[in-house]
Amino acid sequence: MTSSVPVVIAWPVIVATVLVVAARWVWFDDTAAERYLNATLTIIAATQVLREDVAQRAIVAVLPTTVTTVQQISLCTIVVSIAPFLCVIDLLSGRAAGDVRSRPWRYHLIAAALSIAILAAGTRARHEQRPVEVSGGWAEVLVWLAFSILPLFLAVRMIARCWSEYRQHGVTRGEKVVLAGIALAGAAIGVTTAIATGLALVQQIGVLDSVDYRLRTNSRNFFWIATVIAIVSSAPVVEALLGVAGFDATGRRWRRLRPLWESMTTMFPDSRLPMDPGSRRITRLRLHRTTVEIRDAILELRPYCADVDPAEFANFAAAERIPPRDAEPAGYALQLALAARERSRTGDPPGGAAATPVSDSATLDDEVDELLRVARWWPAATRFADRPRPLPRAAQEAENA
């Protein structure tokens, strides 16, 4: 079947799919599941190209074949693409990798046998150089029966696996949404395949004339299902690109900590851990390093910390419009900023240091959240601490005298 999706939509989507597949082979091929999925996506991308009119005509121009033959081959590649994806489901179902490795040849053997059946049943349509829907007859029914076996089996496996995971204890709401989406994709594959096969059967027994309808729907259903699969499979690629650019959640949190981190590590360079020569990506490990370096620098700054005068904090809160819920982290930020000013002015710590808030975080995320609340008010605190202050009354009187 030749795709009926407009070329202005189809080719950009196909190019994007090819880029996703290439990126996955480069970045995500470490595990067996990733390699099986990449193989599936590669065959899907090739199928998308085979179903485009310009590609079919180009193939016919250089090879001794017909457009109808290329159309039927695209049906076979759809069937073949399911074989490695079934291996992915096996691995995600908890089967041992060694056990799964013995299955691909079985799936591929079944896919090859079904492909041969499709081509054998489609012989008359190829001779007539017409789509199987137009050629009709029991041969068309056999084509769709052979085509439908693996997609229907895949749909059942996808839905069953998602339902099993959905019922597991501790599954988050977000994970449930993803599982529901995958189950719906499986249902879409099953329903569209069953409809195509069922309509071919009722057409043959004379119950309903559905040729025009099937020509319209069969020519676009696979395109959109394949597009959805490509979009879902692109999620790790997009996440990796966002991570490299620093725009993922970890990168955003790190950037918000950076002003506080730069100030603290500039004051106390020894608090910086040895540089990691690895990737420039802002990873959770790098975020963890940053929090450790900030905490180490704060420990070195503690001897300079003094209690913040309530009147001074009130002025700070009024000037910066600090909401009551942020009073504690803002006060801590001001205490650190005043301590940094004291250190730069005197160099030597005073005799007694005031107590600083004690972290009660139990996880990395809790630690980062605490420092983020302080970092939010750090620029304002440093501005306030660096403002000129009036001299105490005794000093003013001495200066006037």
Contact assessment for residue 34 and residue 25, using Cβ atoms and an 8 Å cutoff: no
Q: What is the DSSP annotation of 92-160? A: HTT--HHHHHTSHHHHHHHHHHHHHHHHHHTHHHHHHTS-HHHH-HHHHHHHHHHHHHHHHHHHHHHHH
Contact assessment for residue 166 and residue 172, using Cβ atoms and an 8 Å cutoff: no
- Of all residues in the chain, the percent with pLDDT exceeding 90 is 43
- Cβ neighbors of 61 (< 8 A, separation 6 or more) are none
For residue 198, pLDDT over 60 is answered with yes
- Cβ neighbors of 367 (< 8 A, separation 6 or more) are 291, 295, 359, 361
**How high is the pLDDT of residue 219?**
83
Q: Which of 217, 199, 216 is nearest to 208 (CA)?
A: 199
**pTM recorded for the entire structure:** 0.67
Average pLDDT, the chain: 84
What pLDDT digit, counting tens, does each position of 331-348 carry? 999 999 999 998 888 766
- Looking at per-residue pLDDT, the higher value among 3 and 49 belongs to 49
**How high is the pLDDT of residue 394?**
47
What pLDDT digit, counting tens, does each position of 212-235 carry? 888 888 888 888 888 888 887 777
For residue 395, pLDDT over 50 is answered with no
User: Which domains does the chain show, CATH number per domain?
Assistant: 7-242 (1.20.1070), 246-397 (no CATH)
Minimum mean pLDDT range among 39-43, 89-93, 311-315, 349-353: 349-353
In the chain, the amino acid numbered 278 is: G
For residue 399, pLDDT over 70 is answered with no
CA distance 219 to 197: 14
| Band (259; pLDDT cuts 50, 70, 90) | very high
What region does 309 belong to: left with phi over 0, alpha with psi -120 to 50, or beta? beta
**How high is the pLDDT of residue 238?**
75
List, in sequence order, the alpha helices (H) in 136-283. 137-166, 173-204, 211-233, 235-245, 249-267
Mean pLDDT of the region 21-26: 90
| Band (101; pLDDT cuts 50, 70, 90) | low
Mean pLDDT of the region 141-163: 92
Q: Which of 144, 149, 152, 153 is nearest to 202 (CA)?
A: 144
Distances from the Cα of 116 to the Cαs of 25, 80, 82, 120, 133, in angstroms? Answer: 29, 11, 16, 6, 18
